A and B are shown apart, each in its own frame.
Chain A
């Protein structure tokens, strides 16, 4: 079996295994897996409204996945996407509600604010990694909690003691009457185009710019890149900043598109963590991330239909997602299995 085929087969097999184990869990718990997955399918593709909502859900997943994947290309593990997304969400919501500007300025400004906030949240672990060699995994985890508590406090300040910010002005909104009417009045908004544009941006940076070449070189072999005269430190910081900006834009999807404001949160959104899975499934490539995000966005949104249509708790989909991450991470063993099968076939 060729390497290329195996690279495609590993995520596909992981998804199938995840769904299979999910079915077994449903069976063991006394639920009907066929009814469960039918409800899931209908929740995703059932009607044009469901499709609209599913696409809406995919947009932040694309950006979270890009964030993880981009850092990964430089050999960095950004577990801080969740925190970067939260500060981005707040920044966009704040700019959206606090200023009154014409749309042509206001919307880009709000998006920019979200990207900048996320970038700032990525800058800190980036700088610490580059200058003091502090492991980015732990720092980004800690930054997640700092973001959560800090933003909760800021929301209370902005809302004068309340628990959610005011609605953003229409001039900062990503809402789209056209897309909404097209999908039977779902909350689908223009965010999906922003996300897809960023997919292009990531591809462009990685494949068409000197910066991307350097970032990838550092990711492949730090020492060789250093020897070739590239600044490893600068590239580490750049990678985390750009990664954070993607994540911050993910927050803007929620602030400017889906919710139009931000409420205090008891816990994380989960989008950032799922972004890790999205990037893994997408093999850290821009196009791969679109596929990964489509899968996870669909599963997450479609799951909402499971309690109503099949009386199955929504969390079954979270179980399936976690299992898929496990299987993708354990790709080594799937590879070994595939190669054995391949060899047997050759022997015949």
Chain B
């Protein structure tokens, strides 16, 4: 039993650390898709966030000192939000196919980031950052037996922020007038328009929020996991976040739960060799677990998840 607890003490914190970036990004996806805009581009927005986060951290570490990682997350948020405008303009105003536009965002994100890295550093990846996102022991909670060491000891500050964001997103989407408008625009844009809601404006805001959150996710991932930026820094996390969003049924708290689960799968995959009863499981099964689960979830074996009704369609005033 003691051995089992030790494993949990080891693996749960890693899981949470891997989950945090997914939480940010998946909730970004929830905002965009609730408004009716598919955002396959989350991966590219995360790449942009990771790139900006690391480069900003490297450049301004002397100015901001210990606050650098946080300011870097903010910078990543702003840049990715602006970057997501491309997806918004293409898919909302220019009526582009939202999936194609998202694919273009993914290609563009990695291309711009690598182009800039080569321009600035003359090589394929950046230097390593010195100021990383700090870890905290949460007072009182850390003293709870069993749960304390698992959840509340040496937690990344960004993980705490991720949980706060998830709760905040739930409140915004389900308890505020803006949330009501957001959902109505994604379900039945014409009805929303009739009620005087500016469909396209809400969609723009939603896509920009998704960009900002995905940027934060990327910056958090880079500043907790890799500590530098290169071509493989973000490798599928954006799509995993997309999966978490679907798995969580387009609900912020659900997305958080799914992200935690995917974080657990990632943590298992990297640490399975250290766990006695996992040693014989080839790690490939753990690598593909999140993706396979998503397919299974989509196939309806874990309860039917319904996407917002108007997803994927540009809203054209006056058409039925």
Contacts and interface: CB of A to CB of B under 8 A. Distances in A.
The answer to whether A and B belong to the same complex is yes
Contact of B294 (A138, A153, A332): A138
A199 interface: no
B94 A330 contact: yes
A38 B239 CA distance: 37
Interface residues of B, number: 46
B120 to A, nearest CB: 10
Contact of A329 (B97, B235, B283, B284): B97
A319 B104 contact: no
A150 B108 contact: no
Nearest to B43: A141
B209 to A, nearest CB: 21
Interface in A146-184: 146, 149-150, 152-153
A266 interface: yes
Interface string A99-134: 000000000000000000000000010001000101
Interface in B237-294: 239, 242-243, 246, 282-284, 287-288, 291-292, 294
Contact of B103 (A135, A138, A145, A325): A325
B115 interface: yes
A316 interface: yes
A193 to B, nearest CB: 29
A141 B94 contact: no
A258 interface: no
B195 interface: no
Nearest to B118: A313
A208 B295 CA distance: 35
Contacts of B243: 138, 142
Given A150-B288, A321-B107, A141 B100 contact: no
Contacts of B235: 266-267
B113 to A, nearest CB: 8
A318 interface: yes
Interface string B201-212: 000000000000
A29 to B, nearest CB: 6
B119 A313 contact: yes
B158 to A, nearest CB: 24
Contacts, number: 129
- Mostly, the B contact residues are helix
B255 to A, nearest CB: 15
Given A266-B235, A313-B119, A319-B112, A326 B299 contact: no
B99 interface: yes
- Mostly, the A contact residues are helix
B104 A332 contact: no
Given A134-B298, A138-B298, A267-B232, A326 B115 contact: no
A225 interface: no
Contact of B107 (A128, A316, A318): A318
A290 B108 CA distance: 24
Interface string B81-124: 00000100010011111011101111110111011001100000
B298 A139 contact: yes
Contact of B288 (A29, A132, A145, A318): A145
A132 B296 CA distance: 11
Nearest to B234: A267
Contacts of B284: 149-150, 152-153
Given A77-B99, A267-B232, A325-B104, A318 B239 contact: no
B235 to A, nearest CB: 6
Nearest to B240: A145
B298 A325 contact: no
B291 A146 contact: yes
B231 interface: yes
17 contacts: A77-B99, A79-B103, A128-B298, A134-B299, A135-B298, A138-B246, A142-B243, A142-B292, A145-B291, A153-B283, A270-B107, A318-B115, A323-B108, A326-B96, A326-B104, A326-B108, A330-B101
The 8 A-B residue pairs whose C-beta atoms are closest, nearest first, are: A318-B111, A153-B284, A322-B108, A329-B96, A330-B94, A322-B107, A315-B115, A313-B118
Interface of A: 25, 29, 77, 79, 124, 128, 132, 134-135, 137-139, 141-143, 145-146, 149-150, 152-153, 266-267, 270, 273, 276, 280, 313, 315-316, 318-319, 321-323, 325-326, 328-333
Given A79-B103, A325-B103, 12 more contacts: A134-B298, A137-B40, A142-B295, A146-B291, A149-B287, A150-B284, A313-B119, A318-B114, A319-B108, A326-B86, A326-B101, A329-B100
